[in-house]
């Protein structure tokens, strides 16, 4: 929605949903918005359900497992808050429930990061651009054969 680029976050009728999302993370729970009318998951969270136009949302817990759908490793920080973190990975994790989450990698050397790698959520406090508990992901080293997760 390119027209948003002219407006500040305070001006567009939505201040975002980060406070709620990260409040759940601080309790160690990964929860996403789920439409209570059609049961579709929705990330990023929206005001109306893109599938059925309902506004009846709940924050429902997801399993916290998925796979690395794609990623980049940043070697040159473009924001000063991350100058001390390079090189660092940005993951796009496809959760088992379907939605994809932008996140980061923990407990895994960057050169062992591979596409489709099974991962699970861990929670990690960060002071980058605000003090939050972030959902990050670590490798599931030996997924059991046939494990539905």
Partner 1 sequence: MADQGRSRACIVGIGETKYARDKTASNTNLGLQLEASIKAIADAGLSRRDIDGVMPFLNLANAEEVMANLGCDKVRFAATVAMGGATPVASIALAADVLAAGRASAILVPAGIAAFSGPRTRELVLDPARLPGGVHAADYYFPHGYTAPMQWYAVMAKRHMYEFGTTREQLGAVAVAMRKHAQLNPNAVMRGRPMTMADYLASPMFADPYLMLDCCLETDGAAAFVVTTEERARDLAKPIVRVEGAGAAQPHPADEITNRRDIFRTGLGNAAPEAFGRAGVRPSDLDFAMIYDCFTFELIHQIEELGLCKRGEGGPFVEGGRIELGGELPVNTHGGLLSEAHVVGINHVIEAVKQLRGVCGERQVANAELGVVTGWGDFGDGSVAILSRG
Residue with tokens 């939605």: 99
130 binds partner 1 (CB under 8 A): yes
* Site track for partner 1 across 60-99, x = CB under 8 A: ---------xxxxxxxxxxxxxx--x--x-x-x------x
Q: Which is nearer to partner 1, 75 or 142 (CB)?
A: 75
Binding residues for partner 1, rule CB under 8 A, total 51
**The 3-state secondary structure of 116-147, one letter per residue:** CCEEEEEEEEECCCCCEEEEEEEECCCCCCCC
> HSE-up of 136 (CA within 13 Å, CB side)?
16
1 touches 7 (CB < 8 A): no
Q: CB-wise, 63 or 128, nearer to partner 1?
A: 128
Give me the residues that bind partner 1 (CB under 8 A), please. Answer: 1-10, 12, 14-18, 21, 43-44, 50, 69-82, 85, 88, 90, 92, 99-104, 115, 126, 128-130, 132, 134
């Amino acid at each position: 929605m390119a027209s948003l680029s002219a407006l500040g976050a305070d001006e567009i009728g939505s201040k975002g949903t980060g406070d709620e999302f990260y409040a759940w993370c601080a309790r160690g729970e990964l929860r996403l918005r789920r439409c209570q009318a059609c049961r579709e998951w929705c990330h990023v969270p929206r005001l109306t359900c893109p599938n059925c136009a309902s506004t009846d949302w709940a924050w429902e817990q997801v399993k916290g497992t998925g796979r690395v759908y794609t990623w980049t490793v940043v070697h040159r920080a473009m924001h000063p808050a991350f100058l001390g973190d390079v090189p660092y990975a940005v993951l796009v994790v496809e959760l088992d429930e379907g939605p994809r989450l932008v996140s980061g990698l923990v407990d895994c050397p960057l050169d062992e990061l591979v596409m489709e790698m099974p991962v699970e959520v861990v929670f990690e406090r960060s002071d980058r651009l605000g003090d939050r508990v972030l959902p990050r992901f670590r490798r599931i080293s030996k997924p059991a054969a046939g494990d539905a997760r």
